Structure 1
Amino acid sequence: MKKKYLYFIHGANCGSWVWEEFSEFFKIKGFNCLTPDLRFHKANQTDRDVNDIGTISLLDYASDIRKDLSALDEEPVLIGHSMGGLLAQIVAQSVPVRAIVLLEPGPPAGLYPKKSAFLQGIFAVLHYGFFWKAPVMPTFEQISVTSLHMLPPEKQQEVFNRFVYESGRALSEIGFPVLDRHAAAFVDFKKVISPVLVIAGSKDRIITPELARSIANNYKNNTYKEFPEHAHWILQEQGWENVAEFIFDWLEKIEE
């Protein structure tokens, strides 16, 4: 496979730092790795960033990503985790890409988990006044149970300490799409024509394997892979190298 751009999209409350291991892995393989922060998600998030982030829409994030991609001289591979996986799907409706890798992706509008901490996490924002336009930060207790439970305790705290505030509007668009007149979380699956790889963790409490598989099944050219002993923080859990290696092999295969 001729080495191309990999454009990584992180999830909610995070930043480009979640891709440190993956980007290093793929750089060694010869890829050009782009790991931007979503708008207002830089590590040293300022008070102004926190104040402004609450009203940012998924569509704003998607617009920023499309602008980045328009500057590239080659079609990239999009690699998204969690909310970043949903953003990858949104962007791929209108931007030509070589392939899409969705790691435990956020669900497009209309796909809901039957039993999942996903909805618990979404409903947790309700205690914020005017939550649909508020900056949102989970507690360590919430995130350690729903997302970080396969990490050692000291690593859980290290990861959480790097979290930043997220847009209440974006989370509301994901959790309550029927109330969103802009249909920000809607994906027209037929418009996504590139190969799609969906990866799930068997112990993921946010994006369960059942939900991940249902997302994959909406794409004509899809590959689904479930990794045992992995949860929602698959990017940095023990054995993440196996996940990265599988992605690399898949990218090689689709170019044959």
Structure 2
Amino acid sequence: MSSPDSAASYARDLAQVERANATGRTPAVFVHGLWLLPTSWDRWAAVFEEAGFAPVTPGWPDDPETVEEAQAHPEVFAGKSVGQVADHFCDLIGKLERKPVVVGHSFGGLITQIVAGRELSRASVAIDPAPFRGVLPLPLSSLRAARPVLGNPANFHRAVPLTFEQFRYSFANAVSEEEARELYDTFAVPAPGEPLFQAAAANLNPWTEVKVDTTAEGRGPLLIISGEKDHTVPWAIANASYKKQLHNEHAVTEIVEMPGRGHALTIDHGWRDVADTALTFIRRFAR
């Protein structure tokens, strides 16, 4: 049975879907990753709305509305699997009257590719996307970034916050100490441990939920954006995902590297350059 908080979260998401449907515009669905909330997309949503899209920024199941609520009730994040989150977004997208464009960051970038593989998006942008089954590189920086979760098997069932020092390494290594502190205070929330364990075991588990249909005929155009200095999803992982997606013979697949950018590239001072890169790609295929 759903909790009152879960019901309220889903009602907020449905209200956004209804507003998007009422506009008659092409929806732009934004998918956040671990340690962030849907509000991390607020500035992006404004840019896409000005460009003529109808922005939709759903949460993961049970997401609180604010960082303050998230920090007061971290337990609501626990127990969310990749499959559960992907199904949640696919359910919401199925309620849209027009096929959307989808933009996701980190594990949201993985979810974006799952959605595309289910042929539910018109065009997709995956930003520093978490790896899926078949993506083999495992750089040391990624292992270090994941250590706060993977270092304790009990975290599989827990919600795990990052300390500032951990956030600084995994998200905000490419910005100043002052900006890193501001980003941490403004955006960082606890995150479920389960998706990281799922991703770590994906290549050992034939039945994993962390898989993408890269050859689906209706996948649509896909852009992968990589931050040059990203510790969490460095170029080796992003490029390996790109090479897997290149197996799709039915749609454009592209990759671009953003110079000097870390994993916080969707929320730090240079977010607009990344948003414009995504928007330029999407405009080529979705009016």
Q: Choose which of 76, 81, 89 in structure 1 pairs with 2:105.
A: 81
- Residue 82 of structure 1: how far off its partner (Å): 0.4
Distance verdict in 2 for CA 1:114–1:56, change over 3 Å: closer
- Residue 108 of structure 1: how far off its partner (Å): 0.6
Counterpart code for 1:66: C
- Residue 157 of structure 1: how far off its partner (Å): 1.9
CA distance in 1, matches of 2:143, 2:52: 39
Distance verdict in 2 for CA 1:13–1:180, change over 3 Å: farther
Q: Which runs of 5+ in 2 are unaligned?
A: 1-23
Q: How does 1:1-256 map to 2 (within 5 A)?
A: 3-42=25-64, 43=66, 44-45=69-70, 50-128=74-152, 130-161=154-185, 162-178=187-203, 182-191=207-216, 193-219=219-245, 220=248, 221-255=252-286
1:153-190 deviation line (CA, Å, top 9, x unaligned): 23322322332221111221112225657411111211
1:126-160 deviation line (CA, Å, top 9, x unaligned): 44452211111122111102211223323322322
Counterpart code for 2:266: L
Which shows bigger deviation, 174-183 or 198-207?
A: 174-183
Counterpart code for 2:256: K
Task: State the TM-score, normalized to the length of structure 1.
Answer: 0.90
Secondary structure of 2:36's aligned partner: coil
Q: Which runs of 5+ in 1 are unaligned?
A: none
Q: Is the 8 A contact 1:116 1:208 kept in 2?
A: no
- Residue 70 of structure 1: how far off its partner (Å): 1.3
Which shows bigger deviation, 70-79 or 188-197?
A: 188-197
Distance verdict in 2 for CA 1:231–1:71, change over 3 Å: same
Distance verdict in 2 for CA 1:236–1:56, change over 3 Å: closer
Secondary structure of 1:226's aligned partner: strand
CA distance in 1, matches of 2:86, 2:148: 24
Q: Is the 8 A contact 2:122 2:286 kept in 1?
A: no
Secondary structure of 2:102's aligned partner: strand
Partner residue, 2:11:
none
Secondary structure of 1:223's aligned partner: strand
Counterpart code for 2:253: N
CA distance in 2, matches of 1:11, 1:153: 22
Distance verdict in 2 for CA 1:62–1:211, change over 3 Å: same
Runs of 4+ in structure 1 off by over 4 angstroms are 178-182
Counterpart code for 2:268: E
CA distance in 1, matches of 2:223, 2:195: 24
Counterpart code for 1:72: L
| RMSD (Å) for aligned C-alpha atoms | 2.2
Task: State the TM-score, normalized to the length of structure 2.
Answer: 0.81
CA distance in 2, matches of 1:195, 1:83: 19
Secondary structure of 1:14's aligned partner: coil
Q: Is the 8 A contact 2:136 2:240 kept in 1?
A: no
Percent of paired sites with the same residue = 24
